[in-house]
Amino acid sequence: MRIARSGTEMQNGGMASEDEAHSMNKKGRKKEWCEQERQKLIVSIPMSHQDLRNLLDYLDREGAPQCNHTLKETIGFLKKRGLDVDRVVAWLHENGGYCDCEVIYNIDEKFGKFVGREKA
């Protein structure tokens, strides 16, 4: 099991190794932008990282029913956890998760890494 990164690692240009400095040449600004985007994504998650991770694990579990093009499984999970269904569903929609399989596909792709669901 991996522990979710806290996002506190600070990377500033001065500390970069030479290799990194080379590859960051011209891409430095892009990297900064990515870092900002990353932070924005992380703070947008409307539940604890543990809850999101469990949600993704739950949807991705063995023997899960096939997606019927609704968020049935997702909403069932949120209700069971006492989470804010409306808020989470709005957030899922914003990020391309319109049904259970899209949550696995799009949300896991975008956010899974922040909550310790790193794929091989």
Residues that bind Zn ion (CB under 5 A): 67, 69, 99, 101
| Pick 7 or 96: Cβ nearer Zn ion | 96
| Pick 69 or 87: Cβ nearer Zn ion | 69
Q: How far is the CB of 82 from Zn ion (least distance, A)?
A: 25
CB 105 within 8 A of CB 99: no
| Pick 59 or 67: Cβ nearer Zn ion | 67
Q: How far is the CB of 30 from Zn ion (least distance, A)?
A: 33
Q: How far is the CB of 28 from Zn ion (least distance, A)?
A: 39
CB 65 within 8 A of CB 104: no
Q: How far apart are CA 27 and CA 32, in angstroms?
A: 9
Q: How far is the CB of 119 from Zn ion (least distance, A)?
A: 19
| Pick 39 or 70: Cβ nearer Zn ion | 70
